[in-house]
Amino acid sequence: MRSLDYNIISNLFNKRLFENAKSSLLIKIAKNPNRYIGLYRPSKPYTKIIQNITQSHEIKFGDAFEELIRLNFESLGYKSLERNYYLENGDRINYDQLFSKDGVVIFIEQKVRDDHDSTKKRGQIENFEKKLKNLQQLGYTDIRSYIYFIDDSLRKNKNYYLERIEYLKEFYNCDIYLTYGKELYLSEDIEQNWEGDILFFLKKWKKSLPELPKLNFDLDFEDTFNEIKLMSINDLIKLFSNEEIIKQIFPIIFPSKKTLRILSSFYNNEFIVSGNNKIKKLYLLIDKSIELY
């Protein structure tokens, strides 16, 4: 019997990865156009946009997976604890996962894969130790902690982590484990939920994904319009003021210009109602962009 509802988790992942993705991309293009259309780039705008979107999905996938693990553990009787704290020096720390069960505090520092370079692996351990120290300062004495990587196919820094963990275990006198994939679930004696919940969900959800992101924002122009109109006027003016963006990128994302025409009408009406000169400037820039390609 599965402890998680597929539709609820699927909606969570889709929201995390895809919600406001179009406006987020446009803001990045407006603020750093040379990353997409610069001469000193070994790729054309289409390729760079695809790369940007897929990289964003990778980052957001890790965030969504934190929620998945948290919901799964909660469904199995683990109680989530407060995860945000301020240290004495004013620094803020956030725990990826922090639970209590049967009088034990379970602390999990979670990442997607163990493939980072030497600087990041050291930062990972330093961050882990800072959080472990904070838990003991908060008065927790019975702690079971994990450095956890979801993807068990990459173990680049395993030996380094194991060496550092031996030192931390002795210094802080607590249980610390390095785990990959289902090993976390094995350690917590809930292995069946890795297969029945986590892997079941991932396999089914991945089948629903397109091979490549859709770059034609005009295919669902009403949704695109509803996203864009929430962007700041300053960001939009910056976007529509750049003729190279309009000529090189707009034909990719606004090929039929349906979204632009709705935006033009919307901001024209906004100007008529408000008399705001910034909105007038934006409206005229949008109109101009429609004629540029």
212 burial via Cβ count (<10 Å: 0-12, 13-18, 19+): exposed
Whether the pLDDT of residue 1 is over 60: the answer is: no
What local confidence, expressed as pLDDT, does residue 265 receive? Answer: 96
Q: Running DSSP on this structure, what letter comes out for residue 155?
A: B
Q: Are 238 and 30 in contact (CB under 8 A)?
A: yes
CB 150 within 8 A of CB 108: no
Which pair of structure tokens corresponds to residue 27? 């803001």
Q: What mean pLDDT value characterizes the chain?
A: 94
C-alpha to C-alpha distance for 11 and 123, rounded to whole angstroms: 33
Contact 231, 219 (CB under 8 A): no
Domain boundaries, the chain: 1-72+191-215, 77-189, 216-293
pLDDT tens readout for residues 187-243:
999 999 999 899 999 999 999 998 888 899 999 999 999 999 999 999 999 999 999
Q: Three-class SS string for 55-89?
A: HHHHHHHHHHHHHHHHHHHHHCCCEECCCEEECCC
- What's the confidence (pLDDT) of residue 273? 92
The Cα–Cα gap between 197 and 193 comes to: 5
Is the pLDDT at 249 greater than 90? The verdict is yes
- What pLDDT score does 38 carry? 79
Tokens of 181: 């994939």
> 43-55 in b/e burial notation, b at 16+ Cβ within 10 A?
eebeebbeebbee
Backbone angles phi, psi at 136, to 5 degrees: -70, -35
Average pLDDT over residues 51-69: 94
Q: 44 CB contacts (<8 Å, ≥6 apart)? A: none
Give the closest residue to 228 by CA, choosing from 92, 18, 26.
26
Sheet holding 175-180, edge to edge: 79-80, 97-101, 104-111, 143-149, 175-180
Q: How far apart are CA 240 and CA 267, in angstroms?
A: 13
Percent over 70 (pLDDT), the chain = 99
- What count of other Cβ atoms lies within 10 Å of the Cβ of residue 109? 20
**Is residue 270 classed as helix, strand or coil in its secondary structure?**
helix
Q: Does the pLDDT at position 2 exceed 80?
A: no
Assign 42 a pLDDT band (cuts: 50, 70, 90).
confident
Torsion 71-73-79-84 (CA) sign? negative
Q: Give the pLDDT mean for 129-135.
A: 96
Burial status of residue 234 (CB atoms within 10 A of its CB: 0-12, 13-18, 19 or more): exposed
Rounded to an integer, the average pLDDT of 76-91 is 92
- 77-189: in CATH 3.40.1350: yes
pLDDT in tens, 115-125: 988 888 999 99
